[in-house]
Amino acid sequence: MNKKLSIMGYSFHGLLSEGRTDIFHFMEMVKNRYRVDAVDIWSGFVPESMINEESAKKIKKSLDELGLVVPNLCIDGPYVPWAPTAEEIEGNRERMLRFIDFATVIGARTIRVDFCSWGTGGEMTPEAFDIIVERYREYAEICYSRGMKIGPENHFGWDNTPKYLKAVKDAVDHPGYGHLFHFTNFQEEPELGREIAMSYVMHTHVPPYTIMSGVAKDHMRDLIKAGYEGYWGVEIGSDIHCFERLAWHLACINIILAELEEELEGSGKVVDFLTDIVKPRGR
């Protein structure tokens, strides 16, 4: 059964902002502190000054020395397909093409980049739709030829609106285009959003708030049954107690996977330790 775990760099954004970690220390922590063999590299750890072949080769060397793989390169910043001006759109494209080259060197398997910048809302205009589709089609073709996939995350704004996710997916229509499924996190029609995301999922983020509710386990069960072979992305957005909270989060996902293995491949018995422990005990 698929028990592949990866730790997302944003989990340590607090340490990064304090100057207490960097990309190389992050990789060491994942391997030696948490005993996990995969890292999701967040662009906060690789600013634009590092998006070059020399830096990529240094990172790749460290990845290889530690025995780490990169299931996902998660990109925030001025790299999104849609922007208000033609100059910004072209500038973002040039930056994104460099990031794709960077991802190729470090061996990333998927790339996440949003439809648009944080704060973009309202209806998606036809002009924005056309640019988004054009860019993703171009990027998907490049990524596919290099053994990768690229796509959005149901993250914010247009990205977590199911009708836009479906419209862009159908229009891009390319095997190099995928979706980073951030469990729940849809503005509207969550069941439709879940169905769409699962139909072309390339990677996952399992947020902490879905653990105790049981939603994480339900989504993971459905993905396993559907044959999902990607990684379970461990991301915790806390800026305090990150070491302890990430250890808790990682343990919870391992508990869920152990129970699902017993349920789906073992005795068939349904066990739910994480939600049972928060129920009042009978007298």
pLDDT mean by block of 10 residues, the chain; 283 residues? 96 95 98 98 96 98 98 95 96 98 98 92 94 98 98 94 97 98 93 97 96 95 97 91 96 97 93 80 53
- Predicted model pTM: 0.96
The top-level CATH class assigned to 5-276 is alpha beta
The strand pair at 38-42 and 69-75 is best described as: parallel
Q: What pLDDT is recorded for position 280? A: 63
Q: What pLDDT is recorded for position 271? A: 87
The Cα 38–Cα 204 span in angstroms is 13
